[in-house]
Amino acid sequence: MTNILTGNMIDPVTQISDVALLRWYERCQSDLVEVQEKVGRLQQEILRRMEERGASAIPDEEYVCELVTKTNYDQTQLRPFLEILTGRELEDVFVPAHEETIQIASKWKVQQLIALAKKHGTEALQIIEQAKIPGVRTLKFAKRERTTLRDAAKP
């Protein structure tokens, strides 16, 4: 909405009564819940179709829709690396338990550890595999940028 005299935008929310504001707020909250439920159902159907096809994406020229899985690792199952790795290697990939202002548990820098495990071979790689904890599957979804010459020429 625009003020005819000044040409400035007027926020309609600031122009309504308290009762109307509260009613609108309630309706928007209700609409939001409904939309979130629909998005959840659509996401589950997308995941179901990918799983059914054994795919990690749904190819499309307009959208990017890919399955993203974050893998976690059971830190206790990585303990054999304390015996396998050299002291120098451990310094790069292992943070021992220590105290700061709170107790900090020991933990492994898994991405660096995986690189070392590859150097150490099969036994080390098996430990990594055993430590994997299936992660939450999420979707990466975005509208693609126009990249064709024909599209680029459009205003």
| Percentage of the chain modeled with pLDDT above 90 | 62
Confidence of residue 9 (pLDDT cuts 50, 70, 90): low
Q: For residue 16, give every residue at least 6 positions away whose Cβ sits within 8 Å of its Cβ, in sequence order, or none.
A: 24
Please report the pLDDT score of residue 49 as a whole number. 96
When pLDDT is averaged across residues 87-106 and rounded to a whole number, the result is: 89
Q: Taking 80 as the threshold, does the pLDDT of residue 18 lie above it?
A: yes
* More confident: 64 or 134: 64
SS (H, E, C) the chain: CECCCCCCECCHHHHCCHHHHHHHHHHHHHHHHHHHHHHHHHHHHHHHHHHHHCCCECCCCCEEEEEEECCEECHHHHCCHHHHCCHHHHHHHEECCEECCCEECCEECHHHHHHHHHHHCHHHHHHHHHHEECCCEEEEEEECCCCCHHHHHCC
Q: Taking 60 as the threshold, does the pLDDT of residue 47 lie above it?
A: yes
Q: Taking 60 as the threshold, does the pLDDT of residue 23 lie above it?
A: yes
